[in-house]
Structure 1
Amino acid sequence: MKQDNRVTVAITGASGAPYALRLIQCLLDQDQQVFLLISSAARVVLATEHGMQLPAAPDKAAEQLRKYFSASDDKLQVFGKEEWFSPVASGSSAPGKMVVCPCSTSTLSAIACGSSNTLIERAADVVMKERGQLILVPRESPLSTIHLQNMLQLSQQGVTIMPAAPGFYHKPESIDDLIDFMVARVLDHLGLEQKLVARWGYSKES
C-alpha cells in the first residue's frame, strides 16, 4: 500500500494559534500534504494572537497561507466549513491522520457526540469511523466535569488527547521553545521525525 503522506489539520477557536502555525510548518518541511480546516473563531484567534488576518473565502486564505509557509498549491489545501465534497469529508478519500490544534472545548464536545455540523466535525468523525489517528490538542483551564467526560469518552474510542501543557525539563528560553515542545509531541505521535526538542535522556540530535 502506498504511504499516505497526508495530514488533516484543523484550527479552532481555542487560544494557541502559534501551535497550529508551527505544526503546519513542520509538516510541510517533512513533505507532508496538509489539508487545512479553519473555523470562524480560529480566524479571530489568529488575528488576536499572531496578527494574521485571514479572509473567510477558502481560496483567498489558501493563497495567503501558501505565501506565508512558502508552500505549493498541492502541498497546502484549505477547505471551507461546508465543503462537503472535499476529500476529508469521506472515508474513501480522507487522510488517515488528523490533528485539531488547538481544539476548543466546543469542538471537543461536537466530536464526542458525533454532530458533524461543520467540515471540521465531519472530518474528525470520518477519521474515527475509519479507525484512523485523531489527535486533539485542547487548551482550556480549569477543565469542567463535562470537558473531562468528553475527553474520557473520546480517549476510550482511541482518540489521543494531548492538552497544550508544555514541560520545562528541556529548559525553555523562549515562548518558541514552549511551542516547539508541544509540536514535537504531536509529531512524535504522528510517527514523524522531529529534532525540535530532545527526548528524555537524549541529546537534541539523538
Structure 2
Amino acid sequence: MKRITLAITGASGTQYALRLLDCLIQEQREVHFLISKAAQLVLATETDLALPGKPQAMQTFLTEYTGAQPGQIRVFGKEDWLAPPASGSSTPAAMVVVPCSTGTLSAIACGACNNLIERAADVALKERRPLILVPREAPYSSIHLENMLRLSNLGAIILPASPGFYHQPKTIDDLIDFIVARILNLLNIPQDILPCWGEYHQTGDED
C-alpha cells in the first residue's frame, strides 16, 4: 500500500513516530499525518522539535524537515471530518498509531470516534485494513490488557514499544530502530535498519 496514515498520541515514545515518518518518506510513501494535542506536548518534552500548531504550517514544516516531496505529507486536524482517513470510501491505507496512549487504545476499542485519529482507526477496523497500535505504558492494568485483547480479536496488530536486545544495540537510536523495523516489516515495506532473525546466523560443524 502506497498510502500510510500515521497517528501520534500522547504516550512517551514520539521518537518512534519521527523515525517511522522518515523511513516512510524515504520509501516514497504518501503519509497522512495526525497528531493529538497531548502528543505535541510530549514531543516537545522528549525532543528538540517544536511543531507548529496549525495543520498547514505543520505540513510545511514536516515536508522540509523530512525532505519529502510536495504533497507527500498531508497533515489533518483533529476535527477534519472531510479528510480521507475519515471515510472507508477513500483510497485504502494502512494505519499506524505510534505511540498509542492507553486513552486512545480505549477509545478505539469501544468505537468512540471523538476525533479524527479515533475515527480513522475505526475505519481501518471496519474496512479490514491493516491497523498497527504501538502502546507504551508500564505496567499495564487489566483494563489496558482487555482493550488490547479486544482490538487484537477485531484484527488490529498490537506491537508494544518493547525493543529487543539480540541485535546488541549500542545507542538509543538502535532501540528506536528495532521497533520501527518491526512496524515496517508488518507493513511489508522494505527496510535494512534491522536484520531479520537468523539472517546472519552461522552454523558450525557438529562433532
TM superposition shift of 1:94: 4.7
Matched, 1:137 2:158: no
State the match for 2:17 in structure 1: 20
For residues 134 and 94 of structure 1, the distance between their equivalents in structure 2, rounded to whole angstroms, comes to 15
Which of 109, 119, 122 is matched with 1:122 structurally? 119
TM superposition shift of 1:72: 2.1
Q: Is the 8 A contact 2:2 2:93 kept in 1?
A: no
State the SS of the aligned residue for 2:133.
strand
TM superposition shift of 1:140: 0.2
Q: Deviations over 1:27-86 (max 9, x none)?
A: 111110000001000100110111211122100111111111011231101000000001
Structure 1: runs of 5+ lacking an equivalent = none
Matched, 1:36 2:29: no
RMSD between superposed Cα atoms in Å: 1.1
Which of 186, 190, 203 is matched with 2:187 structurally? 190
TM superposition shift of 1:97: 0.3
For residues 95 and 41 of structure 1, the distance between their equivalents in structure 2, rounded to whole angstroms, comes to 27
State the match for 2:44 in structure 1: 47
Q: Deviations over 1:105-157 (max 9, x none)?
A: 00000000000000000000001100100000000000000000000000001
The amino acid across from 2:3 in the alignment is: R
Matched, 1:108 2:105: yes
Q: Is the 8 A contact 1:33 1:75 kept in 2?
A: yes
Over alpha carbons, which structure has the higher Rg? Answer: 2
Matched, 1:169 2:187: no
Matched, 1:87 2:84: yes
Identity %: 57
State the match for 1:200 in structure 2: 197
The amino acid across from 2:127 in the alignment is: E
- Please, what TM-score do these two structures have when normalized by structure 2? 0.95
- Please, what TM-score do these two structures have when normalized by structure 1? 0.95
Q: Deviations over 1:136-186 (max 9, x none)?
A: 000000000000000000000110000000000000000000000000000
